[in-house]
Amino acid sequence: MVERHHAEDPLARLRDRTPVLRTLAEAGAEDLPFEGTTVAVSSHLEPKTGIFIETLRDAGAEVLCTANDPGSVHGDVVAHLDAEPGITAFAEPGMSVADLDRAHVELLDRGPDVLATDGAELLAKLYAEPELSTDGVIGCTEQTTSGVSRARAMAADGVLDVPVFAVNHTPMKHWFDNVHGTGESALTNVMISTNTILSGRTVVVAGYGYVGRGVATKARAIGADTVVTEVDPRKAIRAHMDGHRVLPMDEAAEVGELFVTATGNCRVLRGRHFERLRDGATLCNVGHRDVEIAVPELAETAAEVAELEEGITRYTLPDGREIDVLAEGKLVNLTGPYSQGHPAAVMDSTFGAMFLAARELVVGAERDPGVHQLPERLDKDIARLKLDALGVEIDSLTDLQQRYRDAWRRDDIV
Ligand SMILES: NC(=O)c1ccc[n+]([C@@H]2O[C@H](COP(=O)([O-])OP(=O)(O)OC[C@H]3O[C@@H](n4cnc5c(N)ncnc54)[C@H](O)[C@@H]3O)[C@@H](O)[C@H]2O)c1
């Protein structure tokens, strides 16, 4: 039998593929910026997150980690982390949403100083549960689009009383993670789990933000006929100018063979669309939790529901049309049967930015409550580390170019 390299340490295989985090861990082990600080991490508990958690621990933090989605808890990762000094896991594979809620409260009861979240669920809980409070919380770093929207909604409601770094909104995150990481991992999972080819198929992508643009562009690059649905007129024009067909979902529903939702919103595919779907259509979601496709409504309408194979549920409608839903409408790139989440090369910079954001909360200037952009100097630090890791060199401005760029009177410069 072939001995599996990562049998004892499920993170081993990825350590060489996360050089940015390794550099930060090595520097952190000397400076210990998080010494005396407890950091709560809530994210998909899979190997790349494990390396991020270890990086924080190596830099001096006591880390309490939990899941943001019960479907993406990897048992081997949780067991490994829980056995590590300085790390405590509040999650287990197969846990229900109610179990996860309880685990979140238990973790927050331990009074973490900094939250590092994916989806802002832990942050929201601090305000939703009467026995919890933000007393002593220095701040939060949030890594995804919907979590940042949620933090902004808390600020707009006058609830948010801690600073939150919108790590998702920093270029070194969304330019790569949302576009390339989600785009490639989503389509890979769809193709592997359904064993179908995308070339020549009509793929409908709902939402043309960073994620949707990545999915649609990559689907077209491998030969799909792409259709985009949008609610933002500028994004719709962008999709049109990028060469995709733009349609309202009512019309897209009639032509699509594969649907990928990427809006961060709810009920993007619902009853009126199910009525129009073609026989054999496949639906999946890479946007927000399990709410973008109204799966319970589809189940209610269906004459028969069958688990076709792992990760594929077939809904046979009363008129005989068969509609397949992947990963129960949860994030197909993270909870599907073959899912490994984003490639390590992408998560390396995302978690690198999360690490620098958390470090800035602890050792940087005090910030007002509210949602803040990650300082550009930190975003550029991650970019430099990434370029170093890639062995890619770039030019720098000459003194003359610098002066020319900064001047408004330019005639005496050149
Ligand atoms: N699966 C993953 O690994 C992963 C990774 C990164 C982000 N995400 C999630 O993907 C979602 C999208 O992220 P993003 O960075 O692209 O956000 P974004 O804000 O850039 O894009 C979302 C787009 O959806 C559009 N939209 C909203 N409601 C719509 C509707 N009803 N119909 C059609 N379009 C609609 C918006 O106008 C916007 O253009 C978020 O929920 C984010 O958290 C998932």
> What pLDDT is stored for residue 205 in this prediction?
98
Q: What is the ipTM of this complex?
A: 0.99
Domain 179-335 has CATH 1.20.1560.10: no
CA angle (56, 60, 63) in 5-degree steps: 50
> What pLDDT is stored for residue 1 in this prediction?
34
> What pLDDT is stored for residue 336 in this prediction?
78
214 is in an annotated binding site: yes
Which mutation among 175, 178, 259, 331 tests ligand 1's pocket best, with the greatest number of atoms within 8 A of CB? 178
50 is in an annotated binding site: no
Parts of the chain belonging to CATH 3.40.50.1480 = 12-169+343-390
333 Cα: distance to centroid of ligand 1 (angstroms): 14
pLDDT tens over the chain, length 414 residues: 344 445 678 999 898 899 999 999 999 999 999 999 999 999 999 999 999 999 999 999 999 999 998 888 999 999 999 999 999 999 999 999 999 999 999 999 999 999 999 999 999 999 999 999 999 999 999 999 989 999 999 999 999 999 999 999 999 999 999 999 999 999 999 999 999 999 999 999 999 999 999 999 999 999 999 999 999 999 999 999 999 999 999 999 999 999 999 999 999 999 999 999 999 999 999 998 899 999 999 999 999 999 999 999 999 999 999 999 999 999 999 887 888 888 999 999 999 999 999 999 999 999 999 999 999 999 999 999 999 999 999 999 999 999 999 999 988 898
255 is in an annotated binding site: no
Looking from the CA of 252 toward its CB, the CA atoms found within 13 Å total 26
d(CA 123, CA 322): 40
**How many CB atoms sit inside 10 A of residue 47's CB?**
26
Tell me which architecture the domain covering 12-169+343-390 has in CATH: 3-Layer(aba) Sandwich (3.40)
pTM for this prediction: 0.89
> What pLDDT is stored for residue 338 in this prediction?
84
Parts of the chain belonging to CATH 3.40.50.720 = 179-335
Which mutation among 144, 244, 247, 342 tests ligand 1's pocket best, with the greatest number of atoms within 8 A of CB? 144
Is residue 78 within 8 A of residue 49, CB to CB? The reply is no
Beta-sheet strands, E only, within 216-351: 225-229, 245-246, 258-261, 282-285, 304-309, 312-316, 322-326
Which mutation among 211, 250, 330 tests ligand 1's pocket best, with the greatest number of atoms within 8 A of CB? 211
> What pLDDT is stored for residue 78 in this prediction?
96
> What pLDDT is stored for residue 159 in this prediction?
95
CA 19 from chain centre, in angstroms, equals: 20
119 Cα: distance to centroid of ligand 1 (angstroms): 13
Instruction: For ligand 1, say whether the CB of 261 is within 6 Å of any of its atoms.
Output: no
> What pLDDT is stored for residue 337 in this prediction?
82
> What pLDDT is stored for residue 5 in this prediction?
47
> What pLDDT is stored for residue 299 in this prediction?
98
Instruction: For ligand 1, say whether the CB of 274 is within 6 Å of any of its atoms.
Output: no
Identify the residue whose C-alpha is closest to ligand 1 atom 39.
Answer: 209
